A and B are shown apart, each in its own frame.
Chain A
């Protein structure tokens, strides 16, 4: 079974006749990356180092 298929409940003629995808509610904690800045020129880490110079 593909990983994606594992998320789908098996078709159940009584309670889920059309195999509606029963996904879970969203995670209550902020997903990683939510607060990250988009890389603007000058702020992108490829263009400058945040590591202290040594």
Chain B
């Protein structure tokens, strides 16, 4: 939510609000400029804090204290209120004695917080690309884990020295020192064993409505509409209380898209949406390993970023400042370990094979690194790590366009309620399915099968195999001692022949990381 460059020595000076940023000495903190976000500065003698946060309709905040000097009691009270803000926030606290600074993240992960602390300064940004202008080294252990398809949601990231402030985490920094503190793990949630008469649909609807209405109503908004249940649920709830909604969709190519297109058409008609859709064939993911001078590459990115970027640009051109997504839907109705309803299923076999193939690409030392669990993962939070990681990937691209992301299915109250539902309400997303049927009729049949873009990348890789082989004459990840180049080429050849999904994930993970590493080499 902010970009900041802070020299510790400047922290002795009082902050001054000027041109939508806080200035003190040569340092500045620039909050993200958007109508969804507000900044509050509270000062007392020798100490101040600034909180940059999502605007909320539910909480009254006496703005009379903003910017003025308050006494210690009032300071502590406002500090506590800021910590309990019901939406996402980032707090910066400064104690002038000792030039100390403290950063604290909220629990929603709306925008990532990257920071780099040196002996005399702190640099903060929601956009990792801001750190690429300086010479950077790669954290080889994290790169090994990424190549082995071991996803991490942790303070440690791929660029050495650049930390990510994970949800609810705190960073303390002062001249020559910094300390990172993870929060306590969230309370474990147990599902109910008692069946609910209506599968909790009424409460589900209330919480969904709250998740949408808690923020001030925007005039224009866009909603992603894939044709699946998650985004349909968000669009449906949004349409109950808003008009002028733009829907955005990436369509599967011919041969796969008929059912998806038909469901989208019905949703658009019933909800009165204005639709913009692009075909995935028109904006395929680029597989070029040469970094682009005009566009930074990220170590983790949405697979189909090109198509989504086209849609986001379109939404912005049509005046939208908010993007509602179905992110979080996949994690709302989890299966618990003792339920194990999908163990041994087809997708588990694909995942296990993908991991096995990924490990075959690694050198012995990278394999060794990838297997070690160093205990640096963020603890369990109210939201699942995969939701937070997805948000972390998308947000910089949205914020750069002036779009603020809202993921109602990632609302912690809704997530907490859905996770507690009994198995029969969670199975096949029964509660969500019933909500949609009550609102929209029979759009999603019981046998509904979620569409996937899984076939897109194997075809594309096969089409570009020769170019990829040529570009891999030099391999940055092999030069770093992490992968065996011949094993990569062998995997590529096999994928061209089989188009197997289990081979695609390790190869794409390698290609994306190879391009990222070339960019900062």
Residue B83, interface by CB 8 Å: yes
Judge whether B184 and A35 touch: CB under 8 Å. no
Contact with A along B84-102 (1 / 0, CB 8 A): 1000000001010110101
| A17 cross-chain contacts in B, Cβ below 8 A | 412-413, 416
Residue B46, interface by CB 8 Å: yes
Tell me which residues from 1 to 54 in chain A have a Cβ below 8 Å from any Cβ of chain B. Answer: 8, 11, 15-31, 34-35, 38
Check A15/B84 contact, CB under 8 A, given A25-B75, A25-B79: yes
CA distance A26 to B183 in the complex (A): 17
Judge whether A25 and B93 touch: CB under 8 Å. yes
Nearest opposing residue in chain B for A5, CB measure? B184
| B84 cross-chain contacts in A, Cβ below 8 A | 15-16, 20, 22
Tell me which residues from 398 to 455 in chain B have a Cβ below 8 Å from any Cβ of chain A. Answer: 412-413, 416
| B183 cross-chain contacts in A, Cβ below 8 A | 21
The smallest beta-carbon distance between B122 and chain A, in angstroms, is: 15
**Residue among A16, A17, A26 with max Cβ neighbours from chain B (10 Å):** A26
| A25 cross-chain contacts in B, Cβ below 8 A | 47, 49, 75-76, 79, 93, 95
Residue B340, interface by CB 8 Å: no
Among B95, B102, B174, B382, which residue has its beta carbon within 8 angstroms of that of A28?
Answer: B95
Nearest opposing residue in chain A for B46, CB measure? A28
Among A11, A22, A24, A34, which residue has its beta carbon within 8 angstroms of that of B98?
Answer: A34
The smallest beta-carbon distance between B249 and chain A, in angstroms, is: 33
Judge whether A27 and B76 touch: CB under 8 Å. no
Check A31/B76 contact, CB under 8 A, given A16-B84, A25-B49: no
CA distance A28 to B49 in the complex (A): 12
Residue B293, interface by CB 8 Å: no
Residue B71, interface by CB 8 Å: no
Judge whether A27 and B83 touch: CB under 8 Å. no
| B49 cross-chain contacts in A, Cβ below 8 A | 25
Contact with A along B26-54 (1 / 0, CB 8 A): 00000000000000000001110100000
Judge whether A30 and B97 touch: CB under 8 Å. yes
Among A11, A20, A23, which residue has its beta carbon within 8 angstroms of that of B107?
Answer: A20
Judge whether A30 and B98 touch: CB under 8 Å. yes
Among A15, A18, A27, A35, which residue has its beta carbon within 8 angstroms of that of B186?
Answer: A18
Among B76, B100, B184, which residue has its beta carbon within 8 angstroms of that of A21?
Answer: B184
CA distance A39 to B413 in the complex (A): 50
CA distance A35 to B174 in the complex (A): 10
Nearest opposing residue in chain A for B47, CB measure? A28
Judge whether A22 and B100 touch: CB under 8 Å. no
CA distance A7 to B168 in the complex (A): 15
| B60 cross-chain contacts in A, Cβ below 8 A | none
CA distance A3 to B100 in the complex (A): 25
Judge whether A28 and B79 touch: CB under 8 Å. no
CA distance A13 to B257 in the complex (A): 45
Nearest opposing residue in chain A for B45, CB measure? A28
The smallest beta-carbon distance between A6 and chain B, in angstroms, is: 12
Judge whether B168 and A21 touch: CB under 8 Å. yes
Judge whether A35 and B413 touch: CB under 8 Å. no
Judge whether A38 and B76 touch: CB under 8 Å. no
Judge whether A34 and B100 touch: CB under 8 Å. yes
The smallest beta-carbon distance between A43 and chain B, in angstroms, is: 14
Residue B194, interface by CB 8 Å: no
| B176 cross-chain contacts in A, Cβ below 8 A | 38
Judge whether B107 and A18 touch: CB under 8 Å. yes
CA distance A29 to B95 in the complex (A): 8
**Residue among B76, B84, B174 with max Cβ neighbours from chain A (10 Å):** B84
Residue B80, interface by CB 8 Å: yes
| A24 cross-chain contacts in B, Cβ below 8 A | 76, 79
Residue B187, interface by CB 8 Å: yes
Judge whether A22 and B80 touch: CB under 8 Å. yes
Judge whether A26 and B102 touch: CB under 8 Å. yes
CA distance A25 to B187 in the complex (A): 25
Judge whether B100 and A26 touch: CB under 8 Å. yes
| A8 cross-chain contacts in B, Cβ below 8 A | 184
Among B45, B47, B83, which residue has its beta carbon within 8 angstroms of that of A22?
Answer: B83
CA distance A28 to B76 in the complex (A): 12
The smallest beta-carbon distance between B217 and chain A, in angstroms, is: 24
5 contacts between A and B (CB under 8 A): A17-B412, A21-B83, A24-B79, A26-B95, A31-B98
7 nearest CB pairs, A to B: A30-B98, A34-B98, A30-B97, A26-B95, A18-B382, A28-B46, A25-B79
Contacts A28-B46, A28-B47 aside, 6 further interface pairs with beta carbons under 8 A come to A22-B83, A23-B170, A25-B93, A26-B47, A31-B98, A34-B100
Q: Which residues of A are in contact with B by a Cβ distance under 8 Å?
A: 8, 11, 15-31, 34-35, 38
